Amino acid sequence: MAKTLKQYFETAAGTGVLSTADATGKVDAAIYSTPHVMDDGTVAFIMRERLTHENLKSNPHAAYLFLEDRPGRKGIRIYLKKTREDDDPVLIKSMTRRHLTPEQDAQKGPKHLVYFTVEKVLPLVGSGAAPAA
């Protein structure tokens, strides 16, 4: 039985890269922690007002590549479509994994919780069945 994305990210350690493109197709890639996987299967990332967040305003599609910290090329690719955004500071604070002092956090700028539907999950290499569904 395949693991769910929630189960996968609860046990996997590694590095994630979220890729987006603007309306003209200019691509950006940025290191992101593992997504928050919601009970309904959507995923969410906490984002600052940087290029990734800006790109999603004009192009809702993104891809998240996760490379596991273990020998070999193991991991997954998740193809995403932005569905909504939440700016509730209490909710965002409750979901924040990296804790900065209030001053450090404020210096980095506003945060947004951006939700995506999962359109497709593939293994890191190849086009076969992914380890997560």
- Distance in angstroms (rounded) separating the CA atoms of residues 22 and 14: 27
Conformational region of residue 8, where left means phi above 0, alpha means psi within -120 to 50, and beta covers everything else: alpha
Cross-sheet strand order for the sheet of 43-48: 27-32, 14-21, 61-68, 75-86, 111-123, 43-48, 36-37
Give, for all 133 residues of the chain, the pLDDT tens digit: 256 999 999 999 999 999 999 999 999 999 999 999 999 999 999 999 999 999 999 999 999 999 999 988 899 999 999 999 999 988 888 888 767 777 777 778 789 999 999 999 999 998 876 554 4
* Encoded amino acid at 50, one letter: R
* Encoded amino acid at 43, one letter: V
